[in-house]
Amino acid sequence: MKVAIIGTGLIGGSLALALKRAGFATTVLGMDKNSEHLKKALDLKIIDSSATISEVCKSADLIILTIPVDAICKILPEVLSSISEQTTVVDMGSTKAKICESVKNHPKRANFVASHPIAGTEYTGPEAAIVDLFQDKKTIICQQEKSSKIALNLVKNMYELLEMKIELMDPATHDLQIAYVSHLSHISAFSLGLTVLAEEKKDKNIFKMAGGGFSSTVRLAKSSANMWAPIFDQNAQNISQALGEYIKHLELFKKAIDQGDQSKTRELMEKAGVIRTKM
């Protein structure tokens, strides 16, 4: 099968490697508006050749969109308008409502599958690609009833070959839940990075003290701003709600600490410790 990857970064690159290894893709075409990423993906043999959008739409059996979510909303209707009846398009964006909205009345809506594999790292670009990135992770498919059986089965088959667990979900539920368990984590990490970097201006040795706990909580601050700015924008309402509640909990801690109220900080920590039973 001829697979086209639009966006040859971490996700697109990892996918290209995994789909070739699984024998699912015989040829992988690649597109990227970042010419360095495209060249690197070719050099690393992540993709077999580069292609224009019209070549991709004409010749690929499956077109995979692994670009920022605003770019998906822009390119998806154009791609659907240019493909044949036999071509399937799938996206891997971290928001689902705006993307589904962008093609809800498109005559080829059935050729599209809206998905979101819950996999990634804090690194960016084709050099960051990992063949096993998707293995044993979850992936979400939204509005499966709006995709044709052929398109849906092709995408499900792909995710099963990648050894992913598929969950079906509506876009609104996806966007709300992912705001809490992914988007909020990113903002917590970016803000932690900003806080310690600001303190470093007064205290240049501060990072010498950092250990595994800091690394783990700040790791996501290394994520790509180009990828995340449109996610925050498209999922603004849910993220704002999650962030507001997060700030309230931080303020409960701050108040208890300012008042020297150890029984309150202990109570908050014990309540948070229920997380042990969840994951």
Footprint of its own copies on 66-125 (CB under 8 A) = 118-121
Residue spans of alpha helices (H) in 119-183: 149-161, 171-178
In sequence order, the β-bridge partners of residue 105 are none
Q: Which of residues 215-234 bind its own copies (CB under 8 A)?
A: 215-223, 225-226, 228-230, 232-233
Q: Establish if 188 lies at the interface with its own copies (CB under 8 A).
A: yes
Q: Establish if 207 lies at the interface with its own copies (CB under 8 A).
A: yes
Q: Which is nearer to its own copies, 24 or 214 (CB)?
A: 214
Residues 197 and 1: their CA atoms lie apart, in Å, by: 48
Q: Establish if 42 lies at the interface with its own copies (CB under 8 A).
A: no
Binding part of the chain for its own copies, among 47-55, 72-80, 95-103, 244-252 by CB under 8 A, reads 244-252
Q: Look-up: residue for tokens 């063949």?
A: 131
Q: Establish if 258 lies at the interface with its own copies (CB under 8 A).
A: yes
Residues 277 and 238: their CA atoms lie apart, in Å, by: 25
Choosing from 54, 86, 198, 201, the residue that interacts with its own copies (CB under 8 A) is: 198
Q: What are phi and psi of 86, to 5 degrees?
A: -90, -5
Torsion of CA 57, 62, 63, 65, to 10 degrees: 170
CB of 195 to its own copies, least distance (A): 5
Q: Establish if 192 lies at the interface with its own copies (CB under 8 A).
A: yes
Q: Establish if 58 lies at the interface with its own copies (CB under 8 A).
A: no
**Nearby residues of 153 by Cβ (< 8 Å), 6 or more positions away:** none
Q: Are 186 and 180 in contact (CB under 8 A)?
A: no
Q: Establish if 168 lies at the interface with its own copies (CB under 8 A).
A: no
Choosing from 138, 146, 161, 166, the residue that interacts with its own copies (CB under 8 A) is: 138
Choosing from 26, 153, 157, 262, the residue that interacts with its own copies (CB under 8 A) is: 262
In sequence order, the β-bridge partners of residue 141 are 115, 168
CB of 115 to its own copies, least distance (A): 13
CB of 249 to its own copies, least distance (A): 4
